[in-house]
Structure 1
């Protein structure tokens, strides 16, 4: 095979009479090299097959029944006493993975389990055996097994989060045991088989880093909860979950301390503006406000999605470029020189191609640098957009808590749950992860192409001291560019000094006849300026949409058609559910109503020897004291929550508009 390749090159009509070395054919096919080279480690096929002590199938075969048994045991532990009270003292209920609409859940546990689940799904897409419990799937049935695996993995990892729902020491102990078992199995498998044959030798190990970190967090968190439960006893589930947070939020709202607001100066320095703009991308927690659990989970999953996609893009392209650069030979350089892709001083003498070979390798190294730099830039931009969205989430939630619906939505909305709102709330975290993946992929394509164009059209020609096609276009079209620049400058100068007249407080148009003449004369040139402006509009729109694709809190469409943006549409309905179900002032109002009243001291015994008239006299009311002040303050809190609850506003207006609600008697309807 190698001799046929060398003979084909020798008999090639590109350079008749030039005979290449016979040994070059052995170096052409680098995959057939029998000697061990450093590049052999980059090929997944060269890694020997590894058989760990606990295979993935055995791991799932053991852990799946154990997880199911733990769920059933905890379900019998947590009784639902509202149904069938006489049968078994209550029917066992299905455990919930987490209270996503409450503020008393363990946020770190939920974020860790969702991170494990998403990382497992990322590996599932590229795995040859998607369902570990089943036999090796055939290529025809592999997609069917992937669908089953999409349902299997959530059930498999659900007990890791459900063990914290009962708030019982047995649940914490079961969660600790499950976390230790999962962590030990994953860590042992990676220690025994760090290399894999999938895409890259290190891809499996690096893709498991979020799983190992999340399992380590669970392995430490559950024992801490267990120790705390043993010391202080099992905390009974409160009547209103998140009661402490809602009362803190209410105290922060009703606090008499004024916020320190610095007056912005009219003439701000550019550095202060840049600093304030950069600070807007850093989320700083505020006292009395907490980001909802669903947003914490969404942000965690989005960051893990960025890591997984960036890792896949890195290991799928960079090793291939390194292989091509390491296996580049003079034969391939001859072809590139003949096609004009590589400059050569002596193209007629292809036998001496050392300089051209180094040039090609430098080109490939530049391509690799462009790819890595663009990938790093895309990851930083995506993470910055995700952090910026946290501040936007807080602003939107606080505005909706105050009833300012038009500050968030373009139209008036009733903040009530609906069928579509519930569906959007369910899919919000999934949409956030998917949009983060797509946004990073599109950004990488755009920024890589732009960096390659800039490198090969500007940087490399400047380094080599040669002419670039871009420089040639600019040099040949300098009259055109000069005309456009002069025309734009002339219009700005005329508008500044001739067509505007400064009055005391405003500016007015003047020299209108000259304005009409200039408008007509510069019409053809402004058409060319408009073409360039249109190109710039397309470029800036594409860059803006690619960078902000991962953000669901803003729409990529204009104000009137923003409902056609599926991401923003999902976010709007998500806000409706969160505000209507988790309004902190409404929850604080309910907690105040459910507070047990203070037991009044027993009344003093009446004196039976007093006259009947004295007994019927009403005693004097005591002077207002601390108890009365607290009662008055509590009533003001209740009034405040009722007035500022947006979910009750529509009902209150409807009730006031109804004449029957105000005591009016409705007339008898006519037949």
Structure 2
């Protein structure tokens, strides 16, 4: 935008602040209303209502997994549930319920998009009815025999939270609709997000805080570093609703999966520990394990080991949830960076092939599935992390920490100690090769490192080949472990590929993310939306000084555009400000990815002021 600003200024110092733009001028027409009652993805719509509805829907689907009657119709109960058996996860009624619940809660979302008193009243009634039914069911049956007696109550907390928010939001909107009708508190969409984005983008008044970057203290520099990994709101930018829904569903998925993993294992371990008696010594003796001659001491040792197992499981669960949440926060920062770059027309390395600006069938399909894929990846990633971290912590606790603390059962340490010649040889080989590479085979001459002693290098490479094969085997095992840990932690993250760049298109999550960005930028570019909104507004008719001939009027307007610098310096009226603002908007939209597909080929490589390369 600096180039555009320079072309507009022409050596004069004028005020380009957004308070003089024509987008802030009063309009005589009415604001455009949403096209239909199902516009969930409107840019200026409330994101809290769709987030609450999706949270309610996902929580209902989580409760569906263990429900004996997936549909709220007694006559449609499956025969297996009538016989006391649990229905399979892929039963016909549960598959039908996957379509029933979205249609069941669809009316709650549709009432929020009409923006009418009747729709708000209907939404209030529906939200109160849903909340009342859920509260009545939980109050009547707070305990359930499945998994854990309070699991159903705890798993329905996000559902009750979402319905409680909707039961308050709809009445508030109903009351505000009457206040708008009477003229009290009426608000127009002139401060909508696209226009705010455009003001921030075209405003040339820069903050002076960047000049004092060198004077920041340690805390300020630490905060700047943290902001690179923790999402914080920025002026003039707002995440798309699809990403907000994905973040909400990811948080709900973390809660639901963590709750299921916690109540499915920890209460069982506690019951087993409470039921340990002296008979456990005979059970262990049958497997050849003798912990002590005293039976009471054996009971204490077994209970202590079960307590340690419970601590390991809870620690692994806390670690898995923490890493998944941190990855989510880091992904939001990456989403903002990618969207801001694509909004200004930059080309990102989102794949081995250049992304076409045209929407495609595959891109639309990926956009529809992005939030669902993100939720599924988060659930699976949390499960995989829990298994890996639990096994690793158990091995560390029972084979290293507890044997060292108690001074017995040092099986792992003794086995490692028996292979001390192997580990000593590998350590010496690695150390000697690094020392030789630094002191013998590398010398600095004239300020540049050079390779020397080629004969000795070739001889050492040949002689140490068998030992390096063993070192390579150890490194290969470490590579597998490191790759498994890294991919397990980032399995729920879709903004980069878990495969190498050459095989990035084979990663379904990364492929979905790239196509999601393509559709999001193509259809929801804030500058494009602001541009279209300004074109569709009804402008006040301005009086024409020359009413007769249109050709003469066009010629005079062309002559006015070619005036000298003195006349340009005097051009501080409304039409001059409007012209400058429109010129800045045209320059901003010159490389808009959403409009490149519809631009003429002769203008595809146009630059500022119409100069062709």
Does residue 463 of structure 2 align to residue 542 of structure 1? no
Of 344, 355, 359, the residue aligned with 1:417 is: 359
Deviations 1:299-329 (A, max 9, x none): 1111111111111111111111111111122
Question: How far apart are the structure 2 equivalents of 1:285 and 1:191?
Answer: 40
Does residue 135 of structure 2 align to residue 190 of structure 1? no
Of 148, 160, 167, the residue aligned with 1:212 is: 160
1:165 is paired with a residue whose SS is helix
Question: How far apart are the structure 2 equivalents of 1:643 and 1:117?
Answer: 41
Of 114, 123, 129, the residue aligned with 2:63 is: 123
Of 54, 78, 90, the residue aligned with 1:137 is: 78
**1:655 Cα deviation after fit:** 4.1
Question: How far apart are the structure 2 equivalents of 1:376 and 1:313?
Answer: 11
Q: Please list every run of 5 or more consecutive structure 1 residues that lacks an aligned counterpart in the other structure.
A: 1-92, 347-351, 607-617, 659-671
| Structure-2 residue corresponding to 1:353 | 295
1:577 is paired with a residue whose SS is helix
Question: How far apart are the structure 2 equivalents of 1:574 and 1:254?
Answer: 27
Does residue 82 of structure 2 align to residue 112 of structure 1? no
| Structure-2 residue corresponding to 1:633 | 580
Does residue 389 of structure 2 align to residue 432 of structure 1? no
- Map residues 129-278 of structure 1 onto 2, 5 A cutoff: 129-135=69-75, 136-139=77-80, 143-233=91-181, 244-258=192-206, 260-261=209-210, 278=226
1:406 is paired with a residue whose SS is coil
| Structure-2 residue corresponding to 1:80 | none
Of 384, 396, 400, the residue aligned with 1:454 is: 396
Question: How far apart are the structure 1 equivalents of 2:425 and 2:145?
Answer: 60
| Structure-2 residue corresponding to 1:14 | none
Q: Please list every run of 5 or more consecutive structure 2 residues that lacks an aligned counterpart in the other structure.
A: 1-34, 82-86, 549-555, 561-566, 606-613
Deviates more, 1:589-598 or 1:174-183: 589-598
Greater C-alpha radius of gyration:
1
Conserved? CA contact 1:553–1:571, under 8 Å: yes
Does residue 522 of structure 2 align to residue 575 of structure 1? no
| Structure-2 residue corresponding to 1:479 | 421
Conserved? CA contact 2:53–2:108, under 8 Å: yes
| Structure-1 residue corresponding to 2:407 | 465
**1:144 Cα deviation after fit:** 1.2
| Structure-1 residue corresponding to 2:229 | 281
| Structure-2 residue corresponding to 1:514 | 456
Question: How far apart are the structure 2 equivalents of 1:192 and 1:423?
Answer: 43
| Structure-2 residue corresponding to 1:103 | 43
1:456 is paired with a residue whose SS is helix
| Structure-1 residue corresponding to 2:595 | 648
Deviations 1:205-237 (A, max 9, x none): 1001001111111122222222222212399xx
Question: How far apart are the structure 2 equivalents of 1:153 and 1:454?
Answer: 45
Question: How far apart are the structure 2 equivalents of 1:364 and 1:507?
Answer: 58
Deviates more, 1:435-444 or 1:225-234: 225-234
Question: How far apart are the structure 2 equivalents of 1:244 and 1:172?
Answer: 22
Conserved? CA contact 2:120–2:173, under 8 Å: yes
Q: Going by fraction, where is helix more abundant, 1 or 2?
A: 2
Cα 1:234/1:356, change in 2 over 3 Å: farther
**1:241 Cα deviation after fit:** 8.5
Question: How far apart are the structure 1 equivalents of 2:232 and 2:171?
Answer: 30
Aligned residues: 540
Cα 1:551/1:402, change in 2 over 3 Å: same
Conserved? CA contact 2:69–2:78, under 8 Å: yes
Question: How far apart are the structure 2 equivalents of 1:399 and 1:444?
Answer: 36
2:279 is paired with a residue whose SS is helix
**What is the TM-score of this pair, normalised by structure 1?**
0.75
| Structure-2 residue corresponding to 1:343 | 291
Conserved? CA contact 1:103–1:241, under 8 Å: no
**What is the TM-score of this pair, normalised by structure 2?**
0.82
2:487 is paired with a residue whose SS is helix
2:50 is paired with a residue whose SS is helix
Conserved? CA contact 2:117–2:177, under 8 Å: yes
Conserved? CA contact 2:327–2:490, under 8 Å: yes
